[in-house]
Amino acid sequence: RLIIFYIYVVLLVPSCLCCLLIFYNFFRMSQLRKQPANQTIFLLLIILFIEILIDLPIRLSYLYENQVLIQTGGFCMFWNWIASVLNIIGLHLMAFASIERHFFIFNSQFHARHRFLLSIIPMIVSVIYPLAFYTGTVFGSW
């Protein structure tokens, strides 16, 4: 348990620094933000940064102290919900980004004509569906 804690601690700082550096470059270089190929990656980066800021400190506290930070049922349900939602949104966006890259490389004209259907809607669904599903699943029985 403590070995996992120290591995997380060692990797958490470089992870935050890399995310902040990528955010800085996205905001500094407007051509990165405007390219459709980077929008899904940017959304994925935002989700993973939120996971680093919210889920990992709670997990680190649990691994170090061997008990949950706030020992209430509501907090445990929130932790379960936020960890599940962020993880599944990240997986959905990563899978969608892989498919989208295929379209950008092999079918760029088709993708340009149907950008809303092939880019915007799947990104929205990749965020809304896990939020709705895990909200109903975790908090529905409360």
- Region of 72 please: left (phi>0), alpha (psi -120 to 50) or beta: beta
Task: Give tens-digit pLDDT for 85-101.
Answer: 999 999 999 999 998 88
**Do 117 and 53 form a contact (C-beta atoms < 8 A)?**
no
- One DSSP character per residue, 71-117 reads -SHHHHHHHHHHHHHHHHHHHHHHHHHHHHHHHHHH-HHHHHHTHII
The model's confidence at residue 142, banded by pLDDT at 50, 70 and 90, is: low
Task: Give tens-digit pLDDT for 17-70.
Answer: 999 999 999 889 888 878 877 888 899 999 999 999 998 888 888 888 888 888
pTM of the model: 0.85
